[in-house]
């Protein structure tokens, strides 16, 4: 499993990437640990990470600026993926286009590997969804983005969008304790679309986290000599070859531990335990 890759549109990326949201500080609202953030970003690149997930509204502005300050000029082959926020009841197409252009300016790039249209919640297909999708397609056709992604979507929205234009990735909530997006993952695999689970270690943070505080996950981790986070990440990697991980951290030690999940193989006993109730 070590260093396996999967296409993210025209990019072939390592399946373990890095989610940069936490670099903006608690709940992506600051203040950031600037020195620590730059150290983590540079350590990620040094470790072979070639897929970084970000957004202009993290901070806002803070995370993109940290990425730029840490990594510009960017190494060849680095896929930077961002997102713009869609609205449920209509939108100004110019606002979405401006959001893409803001990302380009703050990151100092001419093109992003992909931008996800992030919806407030999964829903039905309607004219507003089509209008927003058209903005994304126009940005791709203009060369601002190499690929279109979708985030927080329903299976209906995925099928509708993919039938009309190329979709390179889908970001949905998915982890050991919440597998509601399994049909979307299956469809992405069928169409060879990258599936990027957000919050791969579960929600909420803290003592109520159903993954990191699960007795079952702890038992599996202890038996295999791994951390609970590594078990959760390895489970996702073994679930399907199109899963791309973007766990976030502000710690170089945690970054390295997360990447080491690639080397962890969950045996049949572990998989049986994790497929049952986690508590």
- Report if residue 231 sits inside a domain: no
Alpha helices in 18-166 (DSSP H): 34-46, 62-71, 93-107, 127-141, 155-164
Q: What are residue 132's DSSP bridge partners?
A: none
- Is 272 part of any domain? no
- CATH number for the domain harbouring residue 161: 3.20.20.100
pLDDT in tens, 23-51: 998 767 777 899 999 999 999 999 999 99
- Mean per-residue pLDDT of the chain: 95
What pTM value is reported for the model? 0.96
Q: What is the DSSP letter of 55?
A: -
The answer as to whether 48 is a domain residue is yes
Quick check: is 87 in a domain? yes
Pairing type for strands 79-85 and 18-19 reads unpaired
In a domain, 114, yes or no: yes
pLDDT band at 2 (very low <50, low <70, confident <90, very high): low
At how many degrees (to 10) do helices 252-259 and 228-239 cross? 40
Number of domains in the chain: 1
Residue 1 pLDDT greater than 80, yes or no = no
Q: In this structure, is residue 137 part of a structural domain? A: yes
Domain membership of residue 52 (yes or no) is: yes
For residue range 112-122, list pLDDT tens digits in order.
999 999 999 99
pLDDT at 104 > cutoff 80: yes
The residues carrying an active-site annotation are 58
Token match 């919050």: residue? 199
Instruction: Inform me whether the pLDDT recorded for 91 exceeds 90.
Output: no
Expressed as residue numbers, the domain containing 110 is 12-201+239-250
Coil vs helix vs strand at 175 = strand
* Cβ neighbours for 199, distance < 8 A, ≥ 6 positions apart: 173, 175
């Amino acid at each position: 499993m070590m260093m396996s890759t999967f296409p993210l549109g025209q990019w072939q990326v390592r399946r373990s990437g890095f989610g940069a949201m936490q670099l903006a500080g608690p709940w992506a609202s600051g203040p950031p640990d600037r020195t620590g953030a730059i150290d983590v970003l540079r350590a990620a690149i040094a470790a072979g990470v070639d897929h970084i997930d970000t957004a202009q509204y993290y901070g806002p502005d803070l995370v993109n600026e940290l990425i730029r300050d840490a990594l510009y000029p960017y190494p060849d082959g680095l896929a930077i993926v961002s997102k713009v926020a869609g609205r449920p009841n209509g939108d100004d197409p110019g606002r979405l286009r401006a959001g893409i252009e803001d990302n380009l300016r703050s990151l100092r790039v001419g093109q992003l590997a992909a931008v996800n249209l992030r919806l407030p919640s999964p829903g039905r297909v309607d004219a507003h969804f089509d209008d927003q999708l058209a903005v994304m397609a126009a940005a791709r056709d203009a060369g601002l983005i190499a690929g279109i992604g979708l985030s927080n979507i329903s299976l209906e929205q995925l099928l509708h969008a993919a039938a009309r234009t190329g979709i390179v990735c889908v970001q949905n909530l998915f982890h050991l304790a919440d597998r509601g997006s399994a049909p979307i993952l299956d469809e992405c695999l069928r169409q060879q679309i990258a599936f990027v689970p957000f919050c791969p270690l579960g929600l909420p943070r803290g003592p109520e986290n159903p993954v990191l505080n699960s007795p079952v996950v702890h038992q599996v981790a202890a038996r295999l000599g791994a951390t609970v986070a590594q078990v959760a990440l390895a489970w996702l990697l073994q679930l399907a070859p199109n899963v791309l991980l973007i766990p976030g951290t502000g710690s170089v030690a945690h970054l390295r531990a997360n990447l080491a999940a690639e080397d962890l193989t969950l045996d049949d006993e572990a998989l049986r335990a994790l497929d049952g109730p986690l508590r």
